[in-house]
Amino acid sequence: SEAKALFIVVGMTCSACAGSVEKAIKRLPGIRDAAVDVLNNRAQVLFFPNFVNEETIREAIEDVGFEATLIK
């Protein structure tokens, strides 16, 4: 089964920032899709909870240099 997570991502200032966040998320195992919105400071992620969880995704975002908070 699939799960969804929505994060606020602080610090993205251009679309390449969003691209690097998206790439970092998609590199993780168990990710179905990721969509990062630089204008609204959001990252929406579809994932398989048997393989990855919200905290691991959050840390992957932080590892590329942005502050991330799970909101949904």
Residue 14 is a binding residue for ligand 9UX (CB under 6 A): yes
Residue 39 is a binding residue for ligand 9UX (CB under 6 A): no
DSSP assignment of the chain: --EEEEEEEE---SHHHHHHHHHHHHTSTTEEEEEEETTTTEEEEEE-TTT--HHHHHHHHHHTT-EEEE--
Q: For ligand 9UX, which is the closer residue by CB, 40 or 53?
A: 40
Residue 10 is a binding residue for ligand 9UX (CB under 6 A): no
Contact set with ligand 9UX (CB under 6 A): 13-14, 16-17
